[in-house]
Amino acid sequence: MDALDQRLAQSAVTACEACFGVKITPEQIQLQQTRKEFDGDRTVVVFPLTRHSKASPEATGTALGEWLVANDELVAAYQVVKGFLNLTIVPTYWTEQLLQIHTLDAYGIQAEGSKSKVMVEYSSPNTNKPLHLGHLRNNFLGYSVSRILEAAGHEVIKVQIINDRGIHICKSMVAWQKFGNGETPDSSGLKGDKLVGKYYVAFDRAFKEEVANLMAGGIAEDKAQKQAPILLEAQAMLHRWEQGEAEVVELWRTMNNWVYDGFGKTYTEMGVDFDKLYYESDTYLLGKDQVAAGLESGVFFKKDDGSIWIDLSDEGLDEKLLLRKDGTAVYMTQDIGTAILRYSDFPGLERQVYTVGNEQEYHFKVLFTILKKLGVDGAEKNHHLSYGMVELPEGKMKSREGTVVDADDLLEEMAGTARDMATELGKINDLSEAEKDTLFKQVGYGALKYFLLKVSPSKSMMFDPKASVDFIGNTAPFIQFNYVRAASMLAKCTDAGHNTDISTIDAAVWDTDELRLIQQALMWPATVELAAAHYDPSLVANHAYDLTKAFSRWYQDHPVLGEENVSVRDARIVLTQCVAHQIKTAMGLLGIEMPKRM
């Protein structure tokens, strides 16, 4: 609901009182954009009002329409179609609004800190494998939601929790010791995360071999899987790590640092960043303390074997384990610790947003409930930003079947496609290699980001590496292309000596296409707010596309540069400036950059 809707709702309330003698509230007035096949700009749905007017929908609409035209200077005309009252707004209103947008650099963007402080967690990888397509959706989503929340006025702290300890890390460590021959990222030229991932795979291969051998010796599969020597080694290493054995800790630190170097490069390519990093190795002990405290206060209980649980059956949930009988932490343990630590790290934090796949919905439901029971203030405001899996044509990604789409590979491929496309079109041949490189990344990565973000987060989505990411149609490159040609045209206007610093517009110049384009642009602030409230970048993506599409259509037959009539030209220049600026702003919230040329 924008300013105009509020104003019209207020008028309609007054009209109801004047016409029917009933007092209602503005919330009872249903307003919507008039569908394009009818005359008018805004529509009042009159059905709900008929029980107040005690008249037919048509009669009710007509009465209100008459009153509004007579008493509200913004309403130029009305038309009743069935139960819908279509209002035409005076053109000067749109012109004024456009000029207002024009003067604002941050139209639709709230001042930072005008709303609460929130934390957004995303990425949160394990340190034993490189990032893949699923992480890309996660990262783009988390980063974009952060930007959108900022745009809506929140102070945002971007964080991740790095799962840097546990049996999975030890597997890579054991394999590297056995088969690595001292290989390092420097010696091999392999990216650090790829190197460590390689040994994780090597572990798995060796493990399977050993299991097969044991089974050949007559041992049952489930037993063999528990007895495989290399697995026992990994478990022993985890134990030594927890004891703080220097040699093991040193190896752990070294290999994790390789991974962080590798991840760092990928994050830079992706264009995402973090304000603070949390490491599981730092927080899992805090979680244990919290569990101990909760046991003390009676929120948790201990079973005979010494394991600690919480009973959530009152909440319609299960009993949930919080500490193993041997006293070691589980996933939930450390998440409790991390959550509480974050509140003390950032006083005044209103809520935490966890960008994590939908397979963990139950986990977060339990986590938030536990936090509430522990008496954490505002725990119920936390939000699990749950998103659906990215599926491939052949089904789910399976590392065992080699169907995992690697993040680095995919990014490179995208930039390569952008290169092929641009080379074929041959419009940027005079750019330097460095400029081209930047451009191909802007376009290629932009296409990928847009593809992953334009779908509502909650839905699982299909990704066909060969066919999915287009550069035409509803895509980032289409939007970028229109931005570029708008910018190019504006530059030519300047070159031609046209005044581009315009502060007044003759309201009589607009045609219906243009009025529609202006109205599209006016929906931006409401879009930002809605996207922030729903943690949904797809709303921003759709807005950017709709605006661009409307612009592209308009551009086709509305000349600017060569327009002789100066007041028409001025109006079109302002319109183009506003649209281009808004497209850039919107795409920026998706983490997508606009090139200067393409």
Span 75-104, contacts to RNA by CB under 7 A? 81-84, 86
Q: How far is the CB of 552 from RNA (least distance, A)?
A: 4
Choose the binding region for RNA from 179-187, 223-231, 336-344, 526-534 (rule: CB under 7 A). 526-534
Q: Does 538 help bind RNA (rule: CB under 7 A)? A: yes
What DSSP element (H or E) covers 548? helix 537-557
Residue 530 as a binder of RNA (CB under 7 A): the answer is: yes
- 172 Cβ partners below 8 Å, 6+ apart? 128, 196, 197, 199, 200, 203, 255
For position 28 contacting RNA by CB under 7 A, the verdict is no
- Region for 471 from its dihedrals, namely left if φ exceeds 0, alpha if ψ lies in -120 to 50, beta otherwise: alpha
Residues written for the chain: 598
Q: Is 113 in the site for RNA (CB under 7 A)?
A: no
Rule CB under 7 A: is residue 4 a binding residue for RNA?
no
Does residue 363 bind RNA (CB under 7 A)? yes
Interactions with RNA, residue window 247-286 (CB under 7 A): 280
Among 112, 250, 311, 361, binds RNA (CB under 7 A): 361
**By CB under 7 A, residue 242 contacts RNA:** no
Tell me which of 143, 263, 481, 535 binds RNA, using CB under 7 A: 481
Nearer to RNA, 360 or 438 (CB): 360
Q: Is 358 in the site for RNA (CB under 7 A)?
A: yes
In DSSP terms, which residues pair with 135 in a beta bridge?
A: none
Binding to RNA by residue 325, rule CB under 7 A?
A: yes
What contacts 214, CB < 8 A, 6 or more positions away? 223, 224, 227, 228
Q: Which candidate, 389, 359, 361, places its Cα nearest to that of 137? A: 389
Inter-CA distances, 165 with 206, 282, 432, 451, Å = 21, 10, 45, 33
C-alpha separations of 388 from 144, 460, 462 in Å: 16, 4, 10
Could you say which residues in the range 493-522 bind RNA, by CB under 7 A? 493
Task: Decide: is 305 part of the binding site for RNA (CB under 7 A).
Answer: yes
Task: Report in angstroms how near the CB of residue 559 gets to RNA at its nearest.
Answer: 5
CB-CB neighbours of 85 under 10 Å = 28
Residue among 10 and 494 whose Cβ is closer to RNA: 494
Is 492 among the residues that bind RNA (CB under 7 A)? yes
Closer Cβ to RNA, 151 or 560, answer by number: 560
Which amino acid, residue 456?
S
* DSSP reduced 3-state for 147: helix
Q: Is 455 in the site for RNA (CB under 7 A)?
A: yes
Helix-, strand-, coil-residue percentages of the chain, each rounded to 5: 60, 10, 30
The residue from 60, 262, 555, 583 that contacts RNA (CB under 7 A) is 555
Candidates 235, 232, 241; CA nearest to 280 is: 241
d(CA 199, CA 310): 38
Integer Cα distance of 204 and 230 in angstroms: 9
- Which parts of 182-241 interact with RNA (CB under 7 A)? none
Q: Binding to RNA (CB under 7 A): which residues in 372-431?
A: 388-389, 396, 418, 421-422, 425, 427
- Dihedral sign for Cα atoms in the order 587, 588, 589, 591: positive
Determine which residue in the list 116, 225, 542, 567 makes contact with RNA, applying CB under 7 A: 542
Are the C-beta atoms of 336 and 287 separated by less than 8 Å?
yes
Check residue 37 for interaction with RNA (CB under 7 A). Answer: yes
Distance CA 15, CA 409 (A): 62
Q: Which stretch binds RNA (CB under 7 A): 140-148, 205-213, 377-385, 556-564?
A: 556-564
What is the rounded distance in angstroms from the CA atom of residue 276 to the CA atom of residue 157?
Answer: 8
Beta bridge partners of residue 121, listed in sequence order: 159, 354
Nearer to RNA, 155 or 384 (CB): 384
Q: Quick one: which of 456, 509, 515, 588 contacts RNA (CB under 7 A)?
A: 456
CA angle 308, 310, 316 (to 5 degrees): 155
Binding RNA (rule: CB under 7 A), the pick from 45, 55, 219, 515 is 45
Given candidates 471, 510, 524, 535, which one binds RNA under the rule CB under 7 A?
Answer: 471
Written as one letter, the residue type at 551 is F
Check binding of 470 to RNA (CB under 7 A). Answer: yes
Indicate the residue among 214 and 484 with the shorter CB distance to RNA.
Answer: 484
**Residue choice 123, 139, 369, 475 for contact with RNA (CB under 7 A):** 475
Residues 154-183 close enough to bind RNA by CB under 7 A: 163, 166-168
